[in-house]
Amino acid sequence: MDAHEIILAKRDGHELSDAQIRWFLEAYTAGDVPDEQASALLMAIVFRGLDRRELETWTAAMIESGQRLDLSGVGRPTVDKHSTGGVGDKISLPLCPLVATCGAAVPQLAGRGLGHTGGTLDKMEAIPGWQATLPPERMVQQLRDVGVTIAAAGPGLAPADRKLYALRDVTGTVESIPLIASSIMSKKVAEGTSALVLDVKVGTGAFMRDVASARLLAETMVQLGTDNGVRTAALLTRMDTPLGRACGNGLEVTESLEVLSGGGPDDVVTLTVALAREMLALVGLDGPGGADPAGVLARGEALPTWRAMVTAQGGDPAAALPTANAVHVVEAPAAGYVTRLDAFLIGRTAWQLGAGRARKEHPVSPAAGVVCAATEGEHVEEGQPLLELHLDDPGRLELALSTLIGAIEIGPEPIERPPIVIDTITA
């Protein structure tokens, strides 16, 4: 095999053979193919794509590049959820303990935020003492004892994807549905879950801005999961305005605790319950006599599971969360109805305040972020608090405020917010 010939073949629009794909990914993971040649192949894939057979083989090769966790001894049906990323998207925090309380085991391997989107691990690390890293044997034991883990993927899980992901980020090769789908699904299949629900975001604050692109991504991932023996479904959900009111790591933990206690914003509760129902359905826990996730959540019955999960991973569920050194209030410039609260610009503002990172190795502030005192569809009076900007470094405020330009619109007439769930995609 020759890397140069494989690059030329894809560049010129030819299909790659299974042997070529497997050799290239194995050689790249082992360090025998340099980054510049891998970058060239990735760029060729961005422009030429991968057909279904190529994509199946590409994904399988990434899975086979490392270990595949065995969760057969957990004692419960296993099901996970993955979101393509959004602003204020803290759904995993209430969702995972909720589904575990309803009888499933949730082995969530989560990631960190990058750019305007938040990361589940960053949110959880706002809890004093909480640890993201779990060896496989501890993960299995915690799933037996508690029913849920939220943890970082270990280095042995799909290492080919780990290398390719970092390369795509710096070579302009992120925007490719085959590459996105194979990256997500290789990790999820390797983690050993028997079922998976995908939350594919659509809108200004999402990676996919239009429904057609999001639907294609969802269908591609559902097919990959099904082909690899993982029962998979996807929900297309709106991400034009932030989820809930809190955008920022510790702030989102606080809001998640409100949801787990039976309260919280309606949109967060609605999406949490919708995803929980889909997850329970995939593992057969939705029939007569099964748990009602809406009732379990409303009664606060998932809160003990949350506390047990946090404690098992070294955290103190009773500890106070970090608070910012300063809070700047943005007031409504006029009376009327909030007709626009742009998710992307609010997410960028939170990032500017310190809640996010430009590169994966950068630290984040657990206290920084944005709280929406009013959100889309609500009435405000002139001078009423509209946003709270939480920050540790006052030097970040001016740039954050400039990022907000155009993010908020107030009109004379009320608007009706559309349903958060657009569609469900199944195999």
Determine which one of 161, 199, 267, 342 is catalytic. Answer: 161
Determine which one of 81, 82, 245, 390 is catalytic. Answer: 82
- Are residues 170 and 209 part of one domain? yes
How far apart, in Å, are the Cα atoms of 259 and each of 40, 241, 301? 46, 19, 11
- Are residues 403 and 336 part of one domain? yes
286 is catalytic: no
Instruction: Using alpha carbons, select from 367, 315, 257, 308 the residue that is nearest to residue 130.
Output: 315
Please report, in tens digits, the pLDDT of each residue of the chain (427 residues total): 899 999 999 999 999 999 999 999 999 999 999 999 999 999 999 999 999 999 999 999 999 999 999 999 999 999 999 999 999 999 999 999 999 999 999 999 998 876 778 789 999 999 999 999 999 999 999 999 999 999 998 888 999 998 998 899 788 898 899 999 999 999 999 999 999 999 999 999 998 999 999 999 999 999 999 999 999 999 999 999 999 999 999 999 999 999 999 999 999 999 999 999 999 999 999 978 788 999 999 999 999 999 999 999 999 999 999 999 999 999 999 999 999 999 999 999 999 999 987 776 778 999 999 999 999 999 999 999 999 999 999 999 999 999 999 999 999 999 989 999 999 999 8
- Are residues 391 and 308 part of one domain? no
- What is the residue range of 269's domain? 79-319
How far apart, in Å, are the Cα atoms of 204 and each of 58, 184, 340, 342, 357? 30, 21, 11, 7, 19
DSSP for 132-187, please give it.
----HHHHHHHHHHTSEEEEEPPTTSSHHHHHHHHHHHHHT----HHHHHHHHHHH
- Are residues 126 and 264 part of one domain? yes
**Residues in Cβ contact with 337 at an 8 Å cutoff, skipping those fewer than 6 apart:** 377, 378, 379, 380, 410, 411, 412, 413, 414, 415
Of 288, 319, 350, which one is at a domain's C-terminal end?
Answer: 319
For position 360, what pLDDT does the model report?
67
Angstrom distance (rounded) from CA 403 to CA 241: 16
Q: What is the dihedral of CA 232, 22, 48, 113, to 10 degrees?
A: 50
82 is catalytic: yes
Angstrom distance (rounded) from CA 234 to CA 221: 8
Instruction: Using alpha carbons, select from 423, 71, 17 the residue that is nearest to residue 237.
Output: 423
Domain of 242: which CATH number? 3.40.1030.10
Residue 353 lies in a domain: yes
- Are residues 306 and 180 part of one domain? yes
- Are residues 212 and 309 part of one domain? yes
- Are residues 108 and 41 part of one domain? no
Of 319, 340, 366, which one is at a domain's C-terminal end?
Answer: 319
- Are residues 173 and 203 part of one domain? yes
Residue 361 lies in a domain: yes
For position 393, what pLDDT does the model report?
94
- Number of structural domains the chain divides into: 3
Residue 70 lies in a domain: no
The answer to whether 293 and 277 are in contact (CB under 8 A) is: yes
342 is catalytic: no
Residue 55 lies in a domain: no
Beta strand ranges found along 175-325 (DSSP E): 195-202, 231-238, 246-247
Determine which one of 168, 238, 277, 307 is catalytic. Answer: 168
Determine which one of 183, 186, 256, 365 is catalytic. Answer: 183
Which amino acid, residue 378?
E
- Are residues 305 and 212 part of one domain? yes
The answer to whether 387 and 338 are in contact (CB under 8 A) is: no
Residue 27 lies in a domain: yes
- Are residues 353 and 304 part of one domain? no
- Are residues 118 and 177 part of one domain? yes
Domain of 364: which CATH number? 3.90.1170.30
Instruction: Using alpha carbons, select from 316, 255, 263 the residue that is nearest to residue 131.
Output: 316
Determine which one of 187, 231, 238, 348 is catalytic. Answer: 187
Of 285, 319, 353, which one is at a domain's C-terminal end?
Answer: 319
Lateral strand order in the sheet of 379-380: 379-380, 336-341, 408-411
Residue 34 lies in a domain: yes
Residue 149 lies in a domain: yes
- Are residues 309 and 178 part of one domain? yes
187 is catalytic: yes
For position 118, what pLDDT does the model report?
79
Residue 146 lies in a domain: yes
Which residue has tokens 């998979």?
A: 232
90 is catalytic: no
User: Quick one: CA dihedral 180, 181, 185, 186, positive or negative?
Assistant: negative
Domain of 26: which CATH number? 1.20.970.10
